[in-house]
Amino acid sequence: MEKQKTIAREVCLKGVGIHTGNKVNVAFKPAEADSGVTFVRTDIPGAPRIKAGVGSLLAQELSRRSSIGDSQAQVQTVEHLMASLSSLGIDNIDVGIDNNELPGLDGSAAGFVEALEDAGIKEQESQKYIYTVKEPINIQDGSSSITILPSSEFKVSYTLNYDHPMLAAQFLEIAVNAKSFKSEIAPARTFCLESEASQLQNQGLGLGANYENTLVVGKAGVIKNSLRFKDEFVRHKILDLIGDLYLAGCSIRGHVIALKSGHSLNLKIAQKIHEQRIKTQGAQAMKEVLDINEIMKILPHREPFLFVDRVTHLEKGKRAVGIKNVTINDYFFRGHFPGRPVMPGVLILEAMAQVGGVMMLASEENRGKLAFFMAIDNAKFRKTVVPGDTLVFEVEAGKMRSKIGTVHGKALVDGKVVAEADLMFALVED
């Protein structure tokens, strides 16, 4: 039974984004168990947090790299760092970043590995989740394909085949672990064809690229540089693939067989793994639907101050989704803009907090406790809520300690966010 891991101390590095050319500073910080890999845009007011995963993938018009974010913030070119985290076994980490792209460094993952190893890797108490492939998974697009077969280890077999004499029919099979990744995969650098270089820069890509951090392949060979491995190109494709797969949100045990795959196909199979993982964990985790009577067994609130009608999804201590049906009969409409009824914003946050309270108090170790507010941060109200609306609250656990918990919550109406906030609770004995 493996345990989750984070880093032991904060460590920083800086550089230039290989596509945007933007200067960037990065700070790696330890994170609580079960919090995952989270990017924090420190240059944006409110320091929005972006959870690394397929749910936050940006549209593929950001080609030739894997990028995550939303309308507020984004982080481009995450694959080299994600591959390093995956291979070093780091499950939980906060990545503070003050621009929109991770540094390209020397075009490989070696600098990320060095920084993370310098920070030290620390085991945590919580059990690590590893997705073990039970049945073959396959995805294909033209002549490119990825198949994942059951295996007792994480192994990658990759075949590269470009229409270029230096890039024809390279193959490598490797069992991926911290040692093999550091020595055999991490140093492999990104590459492009000389014929592509000017076209890419005309498209706004590769603005931070140069002959030191990108292997530019001409007709006669690599220009103004030399190879670290005779098959460095296929090794770098494996590096990208490992990083993209870690966006599925978990480590993998299986044999990945890839033929000419790139980011687009990699991320599609990561999505498949994520979907299967959710189904698998759904059978293992206690995902429940709670009606109002079951909610009242967990929360001390009662009418007229119980604002959650139903919890439709519950992962104890991790995530919950709750619903409130807003009606004209709700008592607060009698005094809050009665001529034009609007639900008070503070009550939207209170309802959100109640869903968060259910999530935290539903576990056996917290049953019977009370959840008291300690802080509300980054609260935003984006749209009024009126009678007839159905509020859907989505809350996810942040940092959790024995007596203090934080959650990030969103309130939605018709799929659009109407309010959001970060909430901190103290858990106390009744």
Query: Would you please indicate which residues are annotated as catalytic (active-site) residues?
Result: 263, 336
Could you tell me the end-to-end alpha-carbon distance of the chain, in angstroms, rounded to an integer? 35
Cis, peptide link before residue 304, omega less than 30° from 0: yes
Look at the block and give the residue holding tokens 């790139």: 262
Question: Which element (helix H / strand E) includes 82?
Answer: helix 79-88
Q: Is 348 within 8 Å of 418 (Cβ atoms)? A: yes
Look up residue 176 and give its two tokens.
């991926």
Q: Rounded to the nearest 5 degrees, what angle is found at the Cα of 133, between the Cα atoms of 255 and 289?
A: 155
Single-letter residue type at 62: L
Max intra-chain CA distance, the chain: 80
CA dist., res. 81 & res. 239, Å (int): 10
Q: What is the CA radius of gyration of the chain?
A: 24
3-state secondary structure 311-373: EEEEECCCEEEEEEECCCCCHHHHCCCCCCCCCCHHHHHHHHHHHHHHHHHCCHHHCCEEEEE
List, as own/partner pairs, every contact residues 381-385 make where C-beta atoms lie below 8 angstroms and the sequence separation is at least 24, other chains included.
381/345, 381/348, 381/418, 381/419, 382/416, 382/417, 382/418, 382/419, 382/420, 383/413, 383/416, 383/417, 383/418, 384/342, 384/343, 384/418, 385/326, 385/342, 385/343, 385/348, 385/411, 385/413, 385/418, 385/419
Q: Is 154 within 8 Å of 251 (Cβ atoms)? A: yes
